[in-house]
Amino acid sequence: MIVTLTPNPSTDRTVELTGELRRGAVLRTASVISQAGGKGVNISRACLAAGVPTTAVLPCAADDAFAVELRAAGIPHSLVAVDGAVRVNLTLSEPDGTTTKLNSPGIPATPAVLDELGSCLHDAAVRADWVVLAGSLPPGAPDDWYAELVADLRTVTRVAVDTSDAPLAALVDRLESGAPHLMKPNGHELASLTTGGLDGDALEADPEAAAAAAHELLDRGVGTVLVTLGGHGAVLVTADGDVHATPPPTTVVSTVGAGDSSLFGYLLADRQGLAPADRLALAVAYGSAAAGLPGTTIPHPDQVHPELVATRDLGRPAARPRA
């Protein structure tokens, strides 16, 4: 089973524009798509489509429209009651695939809510192959809350983390006291974590540099690092070596949810016992499939084609020639 935590869930509303986004103009829309989302919920939705047992843990009132949609979709979940409605995140999607996101802050979390979420997550983790901590933290949560959860959860199961900004920095600051088994930064997030003042755009375009930077996290106790590089694919970095995967040609419709799909693809392949290169291929195939779908649509397995993903062995950092 894959258990997910979405501490700051959102209704993801995607507005597809008929033309380029222009500030101050009156714009026409092609469609509006709305879906109960958030990184962990997206991964649980992918689990459901692939027949993988899952439970989505999140703060939400039982009568909130968000919870009603989860029940209607058949997504197994465990709710911690909060006062207030789940936030709405707005994505403006242009015809060329460019997206502009407007994210709301979310419902403030009290210490009691955080404690209940942690307890609920721990209870579910005992039966899980993986626990995924995903997304931003709500107002009121300390930046190091994920780090505290990792230290607890890694004693009972494997833990994956996909977050950014201050919670990611706080997690990295405390790796020595409890590193996750898997981290999934993108190129820009990885650049912010590693030494040497790396540029995020340059790192995303250079798989070898991304792999070398990810080894700084391995050296501090992280088991595996999956670095998504946008159109340049992804790299998988482990103690046994590094692999780069290039996605198949994809007409990008929306990149929202593509990273979540990539992470699920990796976890699915891990559950299937696949080799590292094949785990990475499935991760990239899931991300590419998601990028070709509107809104936050999570691909069904029959839309995912790992056989079209090209992989190459990058070897070990010490074995690669230096520039």
Residues known to be catalytic: 260
Q: Is 10 helix (H, G, I), strand (E, B) or coil?
A: strand
Residue with tokens 């979540």: 260
CA 130, CA 1: separation in Å to the nearest integer? 7
**Could you tell me how far CA 130 lies from the centroid of its own chain?**
14
What are the angstrom distances between the C-alpha of 104 and each of 12, 18, 56, 302? 10, 24, 21, 33
> How many other β-carbons are positioned within 10 Å of the β-carbon of residue 263?
28
Looking at residue 275, the DSSP 8-state letter turns out to be -
> How many other β-carbons are positioned within 10 Å of the β-carbon of residue 173?
13
Which string of DSSP letters, residue by residue, matches 182-246?
Answer: EE--BHHHHHHHSSS---HHHHHT-HHHHHHHHHHHHTTT-SEEEEE-GGG-EEEEETTEEEEEE
Residues 226, 236 contacting (CB under 8 angstroms): yes
| Single-letter residue type at 110 | T
